[in-house]
Amino acid sequence: MKILVIGGGGREHALCWKLAGEGHELFCAPGNPGIAEVAVCNQIKINDRKGLLDWAKEVQAELVVVGPEDPLISGMADMFRENGFLVFGPGQDAARLEGSKAFSKDMMKRAGVPTARHQVFSDPGAAKEFAAQLCASDEGVVIKASGAALGKGVVVCDDFEHAEIVIEEMLVGGIMGDAGRTIVVEERLRGKEFSLLTLVSRSQIRSLPVAQDYKRIGDGDTGLNTGGMGSYSPVNWVSDDLVAQVEEEVVKPILASLAELDIDFRGVLFSGLMLVGEHPYCLEYNVRFGDPEIQTIVSRLGDGFAEALLACAKGEAIPEISVQNNAACTVVVASGGYPGEYEKGNKISVKSVPDSVTHFHAGTANSGGDLVTAGGRVIAVCGVGSDLESAREHAYAGVDGVSFSGKQFRSDIAK
């Protein structure tokens, strides 16, 4: 099958690597130097809708997979569908689950999905009043910019004084721009976080193996939040029963509520969860594969991934995907300074690696024949093994083989 993947980061490299490995012919725009090893890349800008559509026609793509959230939120899947393509990725309506936290929370409430108590505000006075109310019964409160804010729009506040400042900054100061003109003020939950990625074909679902991710930059979960610094799978504390419970309480009800509004979901639903006592609460939905969770997940899947994505695109029953009896660990190698300011254009050298290690490129580029850094997260190194310990060893051996000036990574992934 000819498959066109839209995007050019670590997630898209993992998708192309897996799909090419199943014997399909891969095309990717804009791609990156790592993706170019497994797919034909064409550096069309992601906002060049016409250019992407023309190329999809030219290569006669039989399946289009839209990777990142931004194009999904702005309706790229709809554009391809309207032009007769089979697309894995929700349309603009369904992508509001990620693009608008106000919409998402209201849908959760309507669907009866367990989630933190909340209200939506654009008036600072009313927002502060509700925040004060929540702070009176618990320590802290969470303030969220409603719009897509590159993972920087959520602030967990320890007390009302902090919440007041954040509300003021977002609603009056406008520091999040339009994304923060509407905010969600919600109850602060405490528990252990995990996420579940579920393939969705209308009302039919199939969850992928659970992978635990690491959001903070520093060892021991310290320092600033990032796009994700590593992941591993399997996760022993998330049982099959818990996954089934999340499917029943968090995934199926939201899809049913979307269906009531005539919204059809064909893609992947990422449920961000917190286990409070024994009860899973939904913190958020995303509408794309998690990065770097998907690098770990595809390294554990057997055959049938492409067929499953195609079935979702068609709205048909999703065939089973086998899962190998192995473990995988992904460690992100990032630029010095990330998630703050960082240098670009530093020369990267990558030593050749055994089969148990894969380098998924995220922020890399070619410059005058050299591979150079081009983003905060540079390469996600995934190791596989018969158990987590060996997967971890392989991943870190692969990390050692990557060098560039300013290289940083967490040393405690899957520890």
Ligand X SMILES: Nc1ncnc2c1ncn2[C@@H]1O[C@H](COP(=O)(O)OP(=O)(O)OP(=O)(O)O)[C@@H](O)[C@H]1O
Examine residue 156 and tell whether it contacts ligand X (CB under 6 A).
yes
Tokens 């923060």 label which residue?
180
Binding mask 97-116 for ligand X (x = CB under 6 A): -------------------x
| Per-residue DSSP letter, 169 | I
345 binds ligand X (CB under 6 A): no
- Min. distance of Cβ 151 from Mg ion in angstroms? 7
User: Does the protein bind ligand X through residue 142 (CB under 6 A)?
Assistant: yes
Any contact of residue 229 with ligand X (CB under 6 A)?
no
Determine which residue in the list 47, 139, 151, 178 makes contact with ligand X, applying CB under 6 A.
151
Stretch that binds ligand X, among 153-161, 197-205, 235-243, 324-332 (CB under 6 A): 153-161
Q: Burial-class residue 104 by CB neighbours within 10 Å (0-12, 13-18, 19+).
A: buried
Q: Which DSSP symbol is given to 100?
A: B
Query: According to the binding rule CB under 6 A, does residue 323 interact with ligand X?
Result: no
Question: Alpha-carbon distance 288 to 300, whole Å?
Answer: 19
Return the structure tokens found at 1: 């099958």
Q: CA nearest 95: which of 284, 316, 308, 265?
A: 265
Q: How far is the CB of 259 from ligand X (least distance, A)?
A: 24
- From residue 381, alpha-carbon distances to 27, 31, 296, 397 in Å are 22, 18, 9, 9
What beta strand segments (E) does 287-400 contain?
327-334, 349-350, 357-361, 364-367, 370-373, 377-385
C-alpha span between 205 and 52 (Å, rounded): 29
**Contact (Cβ atoms closer than 8 angstroms) between residue 52 and residue 29:** yes
Q: Closer CB to ligand X, residue 147 or residue 398?
A: 147
CA distance 226 to 44: 27
d(CA 196, CA 188): 21
Rounded Cα gap, residues 348 and 39, in angstroms: 21
CB of 40 to ligand X, least distance (A): 30
| Closer by beta carbon to Mg ion, 33 or else 227 | 227
CB of 402 to Mg ion, least distance (A): 28
Cβ neighbour number for residue 222 with a 10 Å cutoff: 9
Q: Which does 162 bind (CB under 5 to 8 A by kind): Mg ion, ligand X, none?
A: none
Q: How far is the CB of 69 from ligand X (least distance, A)?
A: 8
Per-residue binding string, ligand X, 251-290, x by CB under 6 A, is: ---------------------x----------xx-x----
Binding positions for Mg ion, rule: CB under 5 A: 284, 286
Beta strands in 40-151 (DSSP E): 40-41, 63-66, 87-88, 118-121, 141-145
Residue 153 interacting with ligand X (CB under 6 A): yes
CA 374, 375, 381, 382 torsion-angle sign: negative
188 contact, one of ligand X, Mg ion, none, CB 5-8 Å limit per kind: ligand X
Of 100 and 296, nearer to Mg ion (C-beta) is 100
Stretch that binds ligand X, among 49-57, 182-190, 229-237, 245-253 (CB under 6 A): 182-190
Q: Which is nearer to ligand X, 31 or 292 (CB)?
A: 292
Is residue 336 a contact residue for ligand X (CB under 6 A)? no
Whole-number minimum distance, CB 156 to ligand X, in Å?
Answer: 5
> Which one of Mg ion, ligand X, none interacts with residue 316, CB within 5 to 8 A by kind?
none
Q: How far is the CB of 142 from ligand X (least distance, A)?
A: 4
Q: Is 117 in the site for ligand X (CB under 6 A)?
A: no
Taking alpha carbons only, the member of 324, 401, 410 closest to residue 357 is 401
For residue 349, give the 3-state DSSP assignment.
strand
Number of residues that bind ligand X (CB under 6 A): 16
**Is position 185 an interface residue for ligand X (rule: CB under 6 A)?**
no
Name 189's Cβ contacts closer than 8 Å, sequence gap at least 6: 116, 274, 276, 281, 283
Identify which of residues 66 and 308 has a Cβ nearer to ligand X in the complex. 66
DSSP lists the bridge partners of residue 279 as 276
Partner whose footprint covers residue 309, from Mg ion, ligand X, none (CB < 5 to 8 Å by kind): none
Residues in the site for ligand X, rule: CB under 6 A?
116, 142, 144, 151, 153-154, 156, 186-189, 193, 272, 283-284, 286
